[in-house]
Amino acid sequence: MKDRMVNLVHETQDQICKVLRDLDGVDYREDEWSREEGGGGRSRVFSNGNVFEKAGVNVSVVMGRLSSDAAKSMGGGSALGDTRLDFFASGLSLVLHPKNPMAPTVHANYRYFERGKESESGAWWFGGGADLTPAYLFEEDAIHFHQAHKEVCDRHAIADYAKFKEWCDDYFYIRHRDERRGIGGIFFDDLNQNSKEACFDFVEDCAGSFLEAYVPILEKRMNEPFTPQNKIWQQIRRGRYVEFNLVYDRGTTFGLNTNGRIESILMSLPETARWEYCQEPVSGSPEEKVVEVLKHPREWV
């Protein structure tokens, strides 16, 4: 399973980067990195192109021994405690920040973990998901993104779209703002309630469906007209994105606690963001419309 997951994340990275390169009109910068404790990764980042302010598609394959803090952030169930500290982790992580404020940011992550001996109960699991973060709400885009992921879930007995959708809304919650980071998608973790084969098949299907879920939305919005005020609002929403990733995101915490490559860990952050003092959207405005959905998640399909 380790080898199959490593192959999957590298092949998926290649497929996604080929499509992004064609859309953006520029090639990515690639950095291969390693860590003393074991393993490494391959980071690919697009910038200064036609479509993206910054777009990163990373893979990592790391192993070693966890600190107790890293063990807590890694998950895997409380039964593992702090005693099984040898680990293996392989995953794909991407964040795409378009230039046009009408085109949504998107995030996806698919990963496989082992702790201790593979034969031990609860010692392996899968996690992942994908979520959409628009600055401006287009309901048909939200429906398309959620429908694509529901169809993936419906193909696999191990998956539950309604549960994973609610999990996504709850996970990407910025508590100090009382709002979600975006309009959600699916999120799951500690997935090992069925056979490894069934779990892998679901994750493989999710990863293979990412382009279908997102690219039609991007192509529809990336050339839409926008105003300077629209751009300011996008930057304010990106500030919220930064707040979640640096304060709450478990993947960021895990990377920092396992001596990961800092540039790869913080690849998810946009190149630009904005924090205005006491900023509030105008009542009845398109900006208020998206904030209302972030505070009160909706059922899209």
State the catalytic residues: 107
DSSP 57-125: EEEEEEEEE--HHHHHHH-S-GGGTTT--EEEEEEEEEEEEESSTTSPEEEEEEEEEEES-TTSTT-EE
Domains, the chain = 2-295 (3.40.1500.10)
5-25: pLDDT as tens digits: 999 999 999 999 999 999 999
| CA angle at 260 for the pair 257 and 265, rounded to the nearest 5° | 95
First to last CA, the chain: 33
Model confidence pTM above 0.75: yes
What average pLDDT values come out for the chain (301 residues) when binned by 10 residues?
96 98 96 91 95 97 80 56 77 97 98 77 86 98 98 98 98 97 97 94 98 98 98 98 95 82 91 94 97 97 97
pLDDT of residue 78: 44
CA distances from 254 to 4, 67, 100, 142, 249 (A): 23, 10, 31, 30, 9
- φ and ψ of 114, to 5 deg: -135, 140
Q: Which has the closest alpha carbon to 16: 198, 213, 181? A: 213
Cβ(90)–Cβ(5) below 8 Å:
yes
User: Measured between alpha carbons, how far is 114 from 63 in angstroms, rounded to an integer?
Assistant: 9
DSSP 27-53: PPEEEEEE-TTSEEEEEEEEESSSSEE
User: Measured between alpha carbons, how far is 149 from 163 in angstroms, rounded to an integer?
Assistant: 12
pLDDT of residue 107: 98
Q: In the predicted model, what is the mean pLDDT of the chain?
A: 92
| CA angle at 181 for the pair 184 and 25, rounded to the nearest 5° | 80
